[in-house]
Amino acid sequence: MKVYMDNGATTRVTEPVFAAMQPYFCEIYGNPSSVHGYGRQTRRAVEAAREQVARAIGAQPREIYFTGCGTEADNWALRGAAWANAKKGRHIITTNIEHHAILHTLKQLEKEGFEVTYLPVDSDGLVTPEQLEAAIRQDTILVTIMYANNEIGTLEPIEALAAVAKRRGVLFHTDAVQAIGHVPIDVKAQQIDMLSLSGHKFHAP
Ligand SMILES: *Cc1c(COP(=O)(O)O)cnc(C)c1O
């Protein structure tokens, strides 16, 4: 018997998920942007999915954007927030244990003229709100700290970290790809401005 133990890398699509998707391949396949009946049918399905995702994290449906994967979500959030706020400042804060989807994007932003502070973590992989507070400067525009680490499972104190960013008027993004489905998340209560998640890490394709 084989036992799959790499669920942090990707997960199996479960039967209910597969069943829910099946009609949209060969039966209901209109372009959701089309105005005819075929399109309206798929549009309804997309909007229902948007509502489900929103409900799972305490967001409004209009705040949900579908991307191709978690890497694309991280990329888009960081690059979008950085360039949209570049006139206010060019300083970004993160930790040195982020996923490469974050670290490689920040390396590219450094080449484009942004400055990044990489906060160190303790032996348990934790970063503290005090560390974040001390690193925020006049020109800090964005903080990105992962919710759960993909290698050692550390859960960062996201609510307290986001509260610091909010108090100092800085956007707060979290890569929650490893947290969704494992811990309750409420972006409103936790003051999270932007959050990335990825279906294939919790039994979607
Ligand atoms: C898997 C993972 C990603 C990337 O998600 P993909 O959907 O595979 O692109 C980003 N961040 C973390 C923490 C991950 O575990």
DSSP structure string for 26-74 = HTS---TT--SHHHHHHHHHHHHHHHHHHHHHT--GGG----SSHHHHH
Mean pLDDT of the chain: 97
Kindly report the protein residue whose alpha carbon is nearest to atom 2 of ligand 1.
177
Maximum pairwise Cα distance, the chain? 58
Nearest CA to ligand 1 atom 1: 9
Q: How far apart are CA 132 and CA 166, in angstroms?
A: 12
Q: What is the mean pLDDT of residues 75-93?
A: 98
Residues in the chain: 205
Q: Would you place residue 170 in the very low, low, confident or very high pLDDT band (cuts 50, 70, 90)?
A: very high
Nearest atom (ligand 1) to Cα of 149: 13
pTM exceeding the 0.85 threshold for the entire prediction: yes
Asked whether the beta carbons of 196 and 77 are under 8 A apart, the reply is: yes
pLDDT of the residue at 32? 95
Q: Of ligand 1's atoms, which has the minimum distance to the CA of residue 68?
A: 7
User: Which among 76, 175, 197, 202 is the best mutation to test ligand 1's pocket, defined by most ligand atoms within 8 Å of the CB?
Assistant: 175
H-run or E-run covering 103: helix 100-111
Contact 95, 71 (CB under 8 A): no
Q: What percent of the chain has pLDDT over 90?
A: 100
What is the tens place of the pLDDT at every residue in 34-43?
999 999 999 9
Binning pLDDT at 50, 70 and 90, where does residue 123 land? very high
Does 95 contact ligand 1 (Cβ within 6 A)? Answer: no
CA separation for the pair 184, 152 (Å, rounded):
19
Bridge partners of 95, per DSSP, are 119
Helix (H), strand (E) at residue 140:
strand 140-144
- Output the CA 68–ligand 1 centroid distance in Å: 11
Of 200, 59, 86, the residue nearest 140 (C-alpha)? 86
